[in-house]
A and B are shown apart, each in its own frame.
Chain A
Amino acid sequence: SQKIEQNSEALNIQEGKTATLTCNYTNYSPAYLQWYRQDPGRGPVFLLLIRENEKEKRKERLKVTFDTTLKQSLFHITASQPADSATYLCALANSGGYQKVTFGTGTKLQVIP
């Protein structure tokens, strides 16, 4: 069966450190993978998209890697700040799938001052 697993439900990290979140998938052939941020009681906000033929993508303090051999994406937040505290969701769309994305359960990140 298809699965998208994010490494942990919750991750606590000290301010200033790099937070690394993991997204693993099985039985998917994703055309692309996305990362979203979701705050409590709010809808997700798009952060980054990485395609199957890309290894790495960066945006300001965010970095995403995509390893289709390992079937894994890593999401890094460098110089983390308390304002980065939120739930981060990975989502992927299968090849041939028209815009339909499937979400992981998310990792709740807490950045401690």
Chain B
Amino acid sequence: GAVVSQHPSRVICKSGTSVKIECRSLDFQATTMFWYRQFPKKSLMLMATSNEGSKATYEQGVEKDKFLINHASLTLSTLTVTSAHPEDSSFYICSASRVVGSNEQFFGPGTRLTVL
């Protein structure tokens, strides 16, 4: 149990376009979902935390108008990278927590975004 999926696994887009990444908890309801990005050989960096039905909380330095997060249901969160640029190319990973206040996060497989 506690499986998290992401779609797509890889995406290549042109500069200036928007890309949507989906994160789904397949067999549990996720009270909280997290979005991270990871550069090669670097650590995961938390971008934002979202709770179902409320606005996401963004980390310092993350532009909320650039990275739109929607947590529409207890099993789905989406991250939209708007007007993508080459510097947005990265590995985006979501995670989900089952229980409010739980320490354990279940990670998705990640999405590799390449902006040309």
Task: Answer whether A and B are interacting partners.
Answer: yes
Contact size class for B?
Answer: 20 to 34
Question: Which residues of chain A are within 8 angstroms of B106 by Cβ–Cβ distance?
Answer: 46
A43 to B112, CA, bound (A): 11
Instruction: Tell me if B43 and A43 are in contact (CB < 8 A).
Output: no
Complex partner residue of B97 from A89, A99, A102, CB under 8 angstroms: A99
From residue B35, how far is it (CB to closest CB) to chain A in Å?
12
Question: Which residues of chain A are within 8 angstroms of B49 by Cβ–Cβ distance?
Answer: 99-100
Complex partner residue of B103 from A41, A49, A105, CB under 8 angstroms: A49
Question: Which residues of chain A are within 8 angstroms of B44 by Cβ–Cβ distance?
Answer: 44, 89, 103
Question: Which residues of chain B are within 8 angstroms of A89 by Cβ–Cβ distance?
Answer: 43-44
Cβ contacts A35-72/B at 8 Å (1 or 0 each): 01000011111100100000000000000000000000
Instruction: Tell me if B105 and A99 are in contact (CB < 8 A).
Output: yes
Instruction: Tell me if A99 and B110 are in contact (CB < 8 A).
Output: no
> How many residues from A make CB contacts under 8 Å with B?
23
Complex partner residue of B104 from A42, A43, A49, A98, CB under 8 angstroms: A49
Instruction: Tell me if B43 and A45 are in contact (CB < 8 A).
Output: no
Question: Which residues of chain B are within 8 angstroms of A4 by Cβ–Cβ distance?
Answer: 43
Instruction: Tell me if B43 and A99 are in contact (CB < 8 A).
Output: no
Question: Which residues of chain B are within 8 angstroms of A41 by Cβ–Cβ distance?
Answer: 91, 110, 112
Instruction: Tell me if B103 and A93 are in contact (CB < 8 A).
Output: yes
Among B35-72, those with CB < 8 Å from A are 41-46, 49
Cβ contacts A69-113/B at 8 Å (1 or 0 each): 000000000000000000001000100001111111110000000
From residue A28, how far is it (CB to closest CB) to chain B in Å?
14
19 A-B residue pairs with Cβ-Cβ distance under 8 Å, sorted by A, are A42-B109, A42-B110, A43-B93, A43-B95, A43-B110, A44-B107, A46-B104, A46-B106, A49-B103, A98-B101, A99-B49, A99-B105, A100-B49, A102-B46, A103-B44, A103-B45, A105-B42, A105-B43, A106-B43
The 5 A-B residue pairs with the shortest CB-CB distance, nearest first, are A43-B107, A103-B44, A103-B43, A105-B43, A43-B93
